[in-house]
Amino acid sequence: MRVSLGAVIGRFPFSSSSNSEQSQNQNLEVGDVIRHGRKCRDIPFLVFFIAFWIALIVNFSFGFYKGNPLRLAHGLDYKGNVCGDKNGSPNLHGLGVRYWVNPNQVFESGFKDSHSDLEDFKSICLKDCPIPSEDTLKWVCNYPEGDDIRLSMKQWVARDYDYFSFLTPDMRKSSLQLLGPCYPVLFPSVNVLWSCEFMTRKSNASLQQWHQMGGQTVDDGMMLDKTVHKSINSQSSVLKRYVADIGKAWPVLIVCGGIIPLILSLMWLAMIQRLVAAMTWITIALFDVLIISVTMFFYLKAGWIGNDAISPIIGKHDPYYHISGRERGHLHFAAVLMTIIMAVAILSSIAIARRIVMATSVLKVASKIIGEVRALIIFPIMPYAVLAIFYMIWISATLYLLSSGEVIRDRCNANCCAYDLLLKQVNCARCCGHTIHYTPHIGLAMLFHIFGWYWVTQFVKAFSSTVIAGSVASHYWTHGEVLQEISFLPIFSSVKRLVRYNIGSVAIGSLIVSFVESSSRILKPLRKKLMVVDITTHNWVGKCLSVSSHYALTSIEWIIKSINHNAYIMIAITGESFFAASAMATELIKNNILRIGKVNVIGNVILFVGKLCVSLASALFAFLMLDTHAYKSAHNKVSSPLIPVLVCWGLGFVVATLFFAVVEVSIDTIILSYCQDSEEHRGTTQYATPLLLETLHDQNEMDSHQQ
């Protein structure tokens, strides 16, 4: 499968009067170093990629049409409206807190043998959770409607949701039986994640007035306290709030997931040209400091250090301020996991300290190329901008897709009769609550949505790597003669060749990586469940198979990524199809593994640590930004900083990967070109620069000395 690059890559066609030179260069593109003899490759995969984009746009449109992100954090009222939704009936803008009006129903739903769920009982959307008065009995009434209650929504809110004085005798009698339309406020409640959680300390003054008016007996006890908390602390509720946190913290994602890693990556690339010898040590030291700092922030938010633990309360401090839920438990787990990662990372950085000198020599070769092809530093801004636009649309579509269920009325057996202002009587036929019903096709749409993120991300990274490889290959095979005159020419030419001939090849390569990664993510929870079953049943064979399958998937994923990475380089150099380029790259590496293995590995390790530095800095800034008042109170309060921080961490790593690819791909391209050059000329390279030969010679001497 090996192809002589001499037939593919030629010298820059300087002007000459010689006819032989003119005939030799007649097939060369003016201003370029790579010949015209290319063909469009992997066209079926290009067609498939275009079809995928059409399907992805349709999927986005479905989410934007059907979804409502308010459903992720806010509950439904007795009419099926989402609290805080301005498009509800009535308009509930600003009324984002859900309150269950009948304490007896809340108490009843807390028993295990109850035939009803808390969602089946009557709830209403308010601005704040009501608190009993010490001198008079307060009421919370239904939304004003009908002929008897002539109030607007603004007047209803201004009256503190109370129009008991407007009720007819029949309405008052129904209200005293806890059937509405007005309900007494007998227990204080606090806003816990947009739901009013009752306190068991009832108001004696309000309860006394309630009994004097002939009101129905009201149950109390710890069950009243735990029922609402159990509902808002369920797995599905926590998951929805985590997704909602991403929408609330979108400025944090833009700043800490986009702008900060962009600045830090550009700074790292600029410094690597001037401080090559020091940057490796600076990167290692900075990595250790950052990972310790991020771990300490997890400890702070988990409540293990200081008093800065997360709180689910929105509003003033009260005795329920330190309610613990799943969010706190997840932060505890994250803190322990970060401690383990921190210990392993610091020990690993100490272990590779002896190899840093080798990494420095490799980075010198890449920094020389970046200095000559100055456009390489600027080029990653283009794929960065493409991914930034795509991620903003993708994250918005995620919020809408996850909230695109249909609101339907429950079929319950609960005693939920309530007064209907329009019918002017107590109604027991349509009194059950509402839930959001998710159809199976929404799950399939979400799976395709996640896969689309994988594929587009891998495609943009592959596109960027291939363009960089084409530019660096031009530098190697021409001794840099062209680049000294026109530094932007290789970038433009490489982009043009890729778009014209090899987009399909990049599409199939990124598809393979996306398929493997998404498959491993889907199989991971299934593998964990199998491990739990095997442990409980003491099936050691099944446990061994589960563990081995995990390492097998990880190995396959790493191998495919490595093969694809080198295949993109050979595509840029030769213009071959993806599978042919993969075979060429694999054969080159196999034949020269002893010569280039350690050099390549150590250089990639330092670059990986640099990416982690950028992503850890993004996470650290996200912690600091989320610690401000804007995200700790009021309507933008996030339930936990965990998910926004992790998203910023991931986005920072993706951005760093795009920019650090300039160095990483440059090194790999030079090494592959060196191997090809050596094989074509029987072990003696013709195009390698003195700096590259010196680097590889020093490495061989070091290995011989160690042996």
Instruction: Label the pairing between strands 139-141 and 182-184.
Output: antiparallel
CA 198 from centre of chain = 35
Give residue 485's pLDDT: 42
Quote the pTM value. 0.82
Verify that 494 and 603 share a domain, yes or no: yes
54 lies in some domain: no
Q: How many domains does the chain have?
A: 2
- Residue 272's CB is within 10 A of a number of other CB atoms, namely 25
Cβ neighbours of residue 500 closer than 8 Å, sequence gap 6 or more: 38, 40
Verify that 260 and 229 share a domain, yes or no: no
User: Is 652 within 8 Å of 620 (Cβ atoms)?
Assistant: no
Give residue 393's pLDDT: 94
Verify that 166 and 289 share a domain, yes or no: no
How is 403-421 classified by DSSP, letter by letter?
T--EEEE----S---EEET
Verify that 188 and 295 share a domain, yes or no: no
Last residue of a domain, one of 174, 206, 233: 233
Verify that 526 and 592 share a domain, yes or no: yes
103 lies in some domain: yes
Give residue 381's pLDDT: 92
Verify that 212 and 260 share a domain, yes or no: no
Give residue 8's pLDDT: 46
User: Is 294 within 8 Å of 346 (Cβ atoms)?
Assistant: no
Last residue of a domain, one of 233, 265, 292: 233
Verify that 225 and 304 share a domain, yes or no: no
How is 47-60 classified by DSSP, letter by letter?
HHHHHHHHHHHHHH
In the predicted model, residues of the chain with pLDDT beneath 70 are 1-37, 110, 112-115, 200, 220-225, 307, 309, 311-325, 354-355, 357-359, 414, 478-489, 517-563, 593-602, 634, 682-683, 689, 691-707
510 lies in some domain: yes
Give residue 189's pLDDT: 84
95 lies in some domain: yes
64 lies in some domain: no
| Type and span of the H or E element at 126 | strand 123-126
Closest-CA residue to 56 (of 402, 456, 520): 456
Cα distance between the two ends of the chain: 34
- Torsion, CA 178, CA 183, CA 185, CA 187, rounded to 10: 40
Give residue 29's pLDDT: 37
Give residue 482's pLDDT: 47
Give residue 615's pLDDT: 95
Give residue 6's pLDDT: 43
18 lies in some domain: no
Verify that 358 and 214 share a domain, yes or no: no
280 lies in some domain: yes
Verify that 290 and 194 share a domain, yes or no: no
Burial of 385 per CB tally in 10 Å (0-12, 13-18, 19+) = exposed
Verify that 276 and 183 share a domain, yes or no: no
Last residue of a domain, one of 233, 264, 288: 233
Whose tokens are 């049943």? That residue is 537
Verify that 226 and 367 share a domain, yes or no: no
Which residue range is the domain that position 271 belongs to? Answer: 248-310+325-389+459-478+486-691
Give residue 649's pLDDT: 95
597 lies in some domain: yes
Verify that 225 and 137 share a domain, yes or no: yes
